[in-house]
Amino acid sequence: MPITEQELSQILAGQEFIQYYGVELYSLGDGEATIKIPFQKKFERPGGVVNGPVFMAAADLVVWLALFTKIDRAEAMMSVTTELNTAFLNGARGDFLCTGKILKLGKRLIYGTAESRSLEGKIVSHHTVTYIRPYK
C-alpha cells in the first residue's frame, strides 16, 4: 500500500477543509477507507438530521483517501473530483461512518463508491464518485 494510516492522518491534519468536519480516519485498506464524522450542531438541519452537503463532502473525501492506497501520494494529492452523484436514503441524527471504495483505476479516470451509515449500521446515503488524475 503506497501510504500508511499514520501518514494519511498527517495529511488530514494539515488540510483546513477536513478540520471543519472533524474527520477521523477510522480504517484504511487496499482501495478503501472509512472515516467517522462526529455530529456537530452546525450540521443540523430542521428536523434534527444532519444536512445533505455533509454526506456529500464525506463521500468525496473518503474516495480521495482510498485513492492514496492505490497511487503515489503526489498524484493522489493532485487528483480532483469530476463527478459526484448522491442518493439520500435515510436521515442521521448523530455521528456517522462513511466508507469509500475504488472500483476502477483507469489511466485518467478513477471510479469509486461511498456509503454513509449511522453508527447503528443504518444506510444513510449512497454515492458514486469519479476522480481525474493529473497529467503526468
- Give tens-digit pLDDT for 6-27: 998 888 888 888 888 999 999 9
Beta strand residue intervals within the chain, DSSP E: 24-29, 32-37, 80-88, 96-105, 109-118, 123-132
| Domains within the chain, CATH numbers bracketed | 5-132 (3.10.129.10)
Q: How far apart are alpha carbons 91 and 48 in whole angstroms?
A: 9
- Give tens-digit pLDDT for 111-135: 999 999 999 999 999 999 999 998 7
pLDDT of residue 1: 61
- Give tens-digit pLDDT for 64-103: 999 999 999 989 999 999 999 999 999 999 999 999 999 9
What is the C-alpha radius of gyration for the chain, rounded to an integer number of angstroms? 14
User: Of 98, 100, 105, which is closest to residue 32 (Cα–Cα)?
Assistant: 100
Average pLDDT over residues 41-66: 95
Q: How far apart are alpha carbons 70 and 73 in whole angstroms?
A: 9
Share of the chain above pLDDT 70, in %: 99
